[in-house]
Structure 1
Amino acid sequence: MDAQVDIAICLRQWEFSETSQTAVLFGRNLGLVRVLGKGTKRADPRFSGGLEIGTMGEAVVIPKASGGLVTLAGWDLKETFRSGRSDLKGYYASMLALEVTLNLLPEGEPHSPAFDALVAALSRPATRPWPPVIAEFLWAMISEAGFRPQVEGHSDQVVGFAPNLGELIPVDAVPGPHLVWQIQPTTVRALRELAQTGSAAHLTEQEAERVGRLLAWYIREITEKELTTLRPLFGEVVPKSANSGQ
């Protein structure tokens, strides 16, 4: 099959041999793709600097008709996104963004808005706080993946969030079989503003962090996959159940 060229971000990377690597790349047009790069660690003009998690480059891939690992025939490093990882929390935020992308999106489907959102998150200037950046990223990813929650329709004083339903519901009408999390009224208002504008620029850092934490736990719930960077970034605060007797 013909080679395909795409701008891509390395989400995960493993050592395959002394000279080769396997990786999961997220291409703007190709989507998630698992690749085998033979010779990526050698001095080879086809590969610049090898594959490193959280970097972006121009990838040349040769798909296989039978499936399995795609051949990575070239990697031209374009961006390392060092500024966003200049502090520990920024590093955790970047790693969470990579992990969410890997867990939330299916393989082989183009999701260019999600790619652009990931680039924006990884490009965070060191002078900009991470909470609004990660809140905007998580909302964009959830929306692109088809899991955008319903956040309108109820007073912000008496609602909880049902992750399995993907919506805010009145706490006095909690359905028995469904998990519902307690939410502060200020977090509800912040979530609604984010939903309306897609921007967390007008939220305080504390509001943006609470919204980001809620969305990260929501992603964990709908994917049924652990996010190893969730607690290092947001701490040990977990959603509290609003269900009676729980």
Structure 2
Amino acid sequence: MAGVQGKSVLVLGGSRGIGAAIVRRFAADGAAVTFTYAGSKEAAERLAAETGATAVMTDSADRDAVIARVRDSGPLDVLVVNAGVVVYGDPLEMDPDAVDQLIRINIAAPYHASVEAARRMPEGGRIIVIGSVNGDRVSFPGISAYAMSKSAMQSMARGLARDFGPRGITVNVVQPGPIDTDMNPADGPFKDLVYPAMAFKRHGRPEDVAGMVAWLAGPEAGFVTGAMHTIDGGFGA
């Protein structure tokens, strides 16, 4: 994609799954890619060697570390916030510290990273946050905290799209449904729960999500901002 050739891209949470597919796509399209990892050092090193991208350790639960990473990456053309965690279970029994950790990673980190990136992002810059179809639809019990965090991304994107619009910076959310990753494998326990509600009775691929992210980062999406882009095999149809 000529639109990102030579552009500076930072992917927060890029060592595995959807994040790794996004790193591969941008690297293949000729961008200069840096990505962060937390607990997957070996996977990050393998991906960096494979793609030529730069891997840097950053804890997305640490607000100051996230801000510093974005700041130290220099003026970015594209920021992709993919880092996220899932906490599920009976809300009456869940560990409050785990919920607070989820809020720091899934809500606070995307906000602070986006604001810091926008400080020096040139006109035409792109901010893309990976949300979830659960931001729109809570189809089963036990995911209230996770769904809350993903719906918060929607309001954030709408607001920042207006804040940064005068500078030509777009802000969008990509909302995957069931995607075949370590977090939600195609042969895992959730397929029997979600497949009955899907138009396609299968998981999507990380590369499917990366393709949508690449389009949002490219020249054809310059008038697309403050929007939610669902890629879920018809789960929410």
Scaled by the length of structure 2, what TM-score is found?
0.26
Structure whose alpha-carbon radius of gyration is higher: 1
Scaled by the length of structure 1, what TM-score is found?
0.25
More strand by share: 1
Looking at both structures, which has the greater relative contact order when contacts are Cα pairs under 8 Å and sequence separation is at least 6?
A: 2
